[in-house]
């Protein structure tokens, strides 16, 4: 995919993450600036989701670590273990926020 296609897909993915967070009822605040989505938990800790166009990846940064996701067919898959972006973000949010969070695309 070219850079323009990646940017459109990445923007749609960040939109979908925001919408999923709204639907989940998770006690978080979201701030989006361009290709960076900052998610703040009640305790003030933050999770960052952003797109990285040069390598065509979505990056997730949390207390538990940093994770890179590449598009494989119709999913964003973790480059280390193959887990899907929304499943990984649900796990990271649950750990960091101290309450079960289940996000669906």
Every domain of the chain and the residues it spans: 3-97
Nearest to 23 by CA among 91, 79, 102: 102
Are the C-beta atoms of residues 97 and 26 closer than 8 Å to each other?
yes
pTM for this entry: 0.93
pLDDT tens per residue, the chain (105 residues)? 999 999 999 999 999 999 999 999 888 999 999 999 999 999 999 999 999 999 999 999 999 999 999 999 999 999 999 999 999 999 999 999 988 898 887
CATH for 3-97? Answer: 3.30.920.10
């Amino acid at each position: 995919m070219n850079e323009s296609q990646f940017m459109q897909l990445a923007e749609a993915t960040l939109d979908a993450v925001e919408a999923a967070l709204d639907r989940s009822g998770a006690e978080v605040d979201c701030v989006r600036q361009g290709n960076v989505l900052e998610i703040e938990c009640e305790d003030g800790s933050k999770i960052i989701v952003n797109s990285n166009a040069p390598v065509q990846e979505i990056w997730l940064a949390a207390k538990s670590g940093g994770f890179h996701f590449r598009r494989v067919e119709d999913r964003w898959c973790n480059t280390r273990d193959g887990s899907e972006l929304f499943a990984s973000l649900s796990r990271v949010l649950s750990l960091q926020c101290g309450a079960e969070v289940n996000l669906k695309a």
